Amino acid sequence: MAQHTTEANVAIVTGGGAGIGRAISLHLAEAGHRVIVADLNGAMAEETVALITAAGGQGQAETLDITDEKAVAAMIERVGPLRCLVNNAGIFNVKPFDALEAEDFRRMYEVNVVAMFSLCQCAAAAMGQGGAIVNIASRAMLGSAQYIHYATSKAAVGGFTRSLALELAPKGITVNAVAPGVIETDMLRARSDTNLDALRALQPGGTLGTPDDIAAAVAFLAAPQAGFITGQTLLVDGGRSLGGALGI
């Protein structure tokens, strides 16, 4: 059952219409936030809100293109004072290095980095004193073949998070990131390079992550109990980044 919500507990989740974003929205609603589910696909955002409501929480759907700065500013002004922003929306595609073009990098940065900046700037002003920003990075930031443009954009998320944490610390706003490893979602299953059994074999525990694994980490970093944590990137990847005996 969701905890009592107040206007001071408003949280925005971008890309909240499906997958990891939907799980994050549900977890934040359960923690007592009124969740603004912002997604390019308005129908999917409405579905998430319906799930939140059915569980006893409070939600509101917003159709949003996060690269539209005016629309972002208008939405944040409309929803009022914020407690939390989760920058989950982003793009991804598989493309080997020799096929990449400069435009692939520009588009990836426009969505995964520049739009995140605009959202953070507007949200920080709306938060006033105190709040939490959680950005979704990726374990790919440590290096990954076949999508260098994506890995580079997510490495930028890590640097942005650390720098913004310093900027917003005087306002009592924490800024952290969660870097998922391989998470079993519909998007993963649809990828052209996906072999789930092979991916599981690379995991120390032999299992892939779930959207709830990421959502739980985000909800923790968004909670008052994590108020002394800022500028950090939490790898949530089942230990895959450790390498160890697997040698990878």
Q: Beginning with the edge strand found earlier in the chain, give each strand of the sheet holding 34-39 in spatial order.
A: 58-63, 34-39, 10-14, 84-87, 131-136, 173-180, 233-236
- Beta pairing class for 34-39 and 58-63: parallel
Active-site residue list: 150
Q: What is the DSSP letter of 80?
A: -
Q: How far is CA 224 from the centre of its chain?
A: 19
Residue 62's alpha-carbon distances to 40, 108, 240, in angstroms, are: 8, 23, 35
Cross-strand pairs, 60 = 36
CB neighbours of 201 closer than 8 A, spacing ≥ 6?
A: none
